[in-house]
Copies of this chain bind each other. A is one copy, B any other.
């Protein structure tokens, strides 16, 4: 029934959309066509559905008292972590508000930014909070569901994951839609653009008087783009902090619990076990969510910003080009909801294969429907067929990268089996082979991204008009992320199933329950591997769009600064230039032989490595503190091992929480300060090099770390399934082959769950910082370069 309702809603929306497109969308230039209302409507729909799923899950049986107690510990830990993280984030936001306000006073920052970047950060944080609340409440209910049937367990876990997916896309698009409406309808009105609006002080206005009408859309979209800074800062803390937390707890729990004391995973006697379970939520739910929230918002806004700058003379430009990404995201949300409903098996005796097929029907079904919807939009002329092609390219790229990730990291294929086989020769060869597999796994994703860029650029007419092509590339990221609602649901589902397993173990449920949650968890591992490839690929395409958006930001700001006499700029030459993009490429000297750009390229590539080094070291230190604490508890409270004394879970949670937040400060500061410093010393061309270097080297490095980690993890699991002698030899002693594989798995942990994923953040955050600090770069870089003797 809900599915039918949904379809009706979609058809209704489409009808509204196409009617409007036919009526005014194609002719209107300044007015926003009615089809735009799909965006707020779909985002509200997503939030409503998220609430429905949440309410349904909460009504499910939370299990017995012990199960609820365990779930309570995890929830408390997770909330304690969030509280700590948000108070830290609040401090950083407060500092940034002061910095941005200062820049506003100096006339080198958009006056909206100091306040408005808070909304992005706030909604991203809210998503994290809601997702975590849902996930922590769902674990015991999933365990309880699994004790009834596999399908029941899947339903609770997957629908709870869907809550995360839907709040992310819901709040993301709502934030964008509301801001667009405010700027379009209330701020940049015809009257305000003529007479000015919001004169804050001196010459600082919200809307400067006598504004050129042609600049309305570029002004709105570049203003909105800088709001992304809030989303990015929130993502940095969630992803990097979460990554450090989860691995510090995991490594700490494993090293003392499993290795030293020989108690099984998720044993309630291990003081770090609750922290470990909290970590799954902190890293894989909140961290992944904030990461993709950033990609979702930033790709939508940056595509709109590029659309706003499409030259008026060409086939497709104007307000349609600006609202198109929002409309496509809206359609994607509706189709994701339909897909979520499709994930079900009526049979309560479903097998793993049935479940996987059910999940795939949901994700692929929504993707297929997106393609159909795009074709409809192209047929009615709201978008071009080229854009339809770019979206298709993005969707297909996501699937290919997901499959190649699976090939390299699943133990059903050669690479991971090969890593497991190397364990016969010892740990060293496991590591060497895993590194080689990781490095090799960069091939397909990189070629896919390159092909996607070329296809998206070409089909949207980039070889005639470069700006259109870059718009097309940005749109391919929108295509990849359109069905984020359901793909994120399949990602967030994994840690919920994982936690359910922990809950079952700690509450002492019968073994068949644990077996079922393990099946769900393994299914989650497959989707998570795909999700990881998907998140780095979408980050790459988003960063590519931001690279082009940086030039637009320069376009808007350099003229403002020149008008005030703050920078030297040949406005006449600019006005005379027909192709503004080519003008800036030449003016900013964005060629590969420019030593500033090449220097930036070197530094960008290096930053990827240094950032990874820092996050790896951070895990090591935080895990060390955890190891000491667990050892201390075992020593001070000897009753723990006999099960007569309760370990102090909260202390371990507190140590991981504090460690994660402390350790992430230095890498965070580096990621924010390096683009600013590069801009000030090497100018805009240096920044463009920096971003391109971090993007290209970071993408390969992230693939390597993610996939090497995945291969090591699954090579170990492959042996634990009984291959190569299994976990223990017939005489009961440890199988040295398994021990060698465990070393590989431990090495892979920070690679795949901390350093690799945090590169997504680095790539996007450095772009965002560069964009927000563009006016600062434009104004001060020439002065600094002159002082350093770099220019005359």
Contact = CB atoms under 8 A, between A and B. Distances in A.
A595 B742 CA distance: 43
Given A591-B590, A595-B469, A689-B592, A747 B609 contact: no
A42 interface: no
Contact of A617 (B436, B612, B790): B436
A28 interface: no
Contacts of A458: 789-790
A436 B620 contact: yes
A619 B598 CA distance: 33
A606 B700 contact: yes
Interface stretch (A56-64, A70-78, A439-447, A634-642): A439-447
Contact of A429 (B429, B586, B620): B620
Contacts of A604: 696
Nearest to A544: B598
A704 interface: yes
B746 A428 contact: yes
Contacts of A700: 602, 605-606, 608-609, 697
A699 B581 CA distance: 32
Interface string A442-484: 1100110110011001100011101001100100000000000
Contact of A457 (B454, B595, B610): B595
Contacts of A616: 432-433, 435-436, 439
> What class of interface size applies to chain A in its complex with B?
35 or more
A38 to B, nearest CB: 30
Nearest to A439: B613
A585 interface: yes
B595 A473 contact: yes
Contact of A599 (B426, B454, B592, B594): B454
A366 B466 CA distance: 53
Contacts of A593: 466, 470, 547-548, 551, 581, 585, 590
B743 A612 contact: no
B602 A699 contact: yes
A670 to B, nearest CB: 10
Interface string A370-385: 0000000000000000
Given A591-B591, A609-B442, A616-B435, A463 B599 contact: no
A437 interface: yes
A425 interface: yes
A604 B602 CA distance: 13
B453 A598 contact: yes
A439 B609 contact: yes
Given A426-B743, A603-B446, A750-B432, A610 B547 contact: no
A224 interface: no
A70 to B, nearest CB: 29
A422 interface: yes
A49 to B, nearest CB: 38
Contacts of A473: 595
13 contacts: A432-B616, A433-B617, A439-B616, A442-B606, A446-B606, A450-B602, A547-B592, A592-B597, A592-B692, A605-B605, A605-B700, A696-B697, A697-B700
Interface of A: 255, 259, 422, 425-429, 431-433, 435-440, 442-443, 446-447, 449-450, 453-454, 457-458, 462-464, 466, 469-470, 473, 544, 547-548, 551, 581, 585-586, 590-599, 601-606, 608-610, 612-614, 616-617, 619-620, 624, 627, 688-689, 692-693, 696-697, 699-701, 704, 742-743, 746-747, 750-751, 789-792
5 cross-chain pairs, A with B, having the tightest CB-CB distances, nearest first: A439-B613, A428-B746, A446-B606, A440-B613, A697-B697
Given A446-B606, A454-B595, A608-B700, 15 more contacts: A427-B743, A431-B431, A432-B620, A439-B612, A443-B606, A447-B606, A450-B599, A453-B595, A463-B791, A469-B595, A602-B696, A602-B700, A609-B700, A609-B701, A697-B700
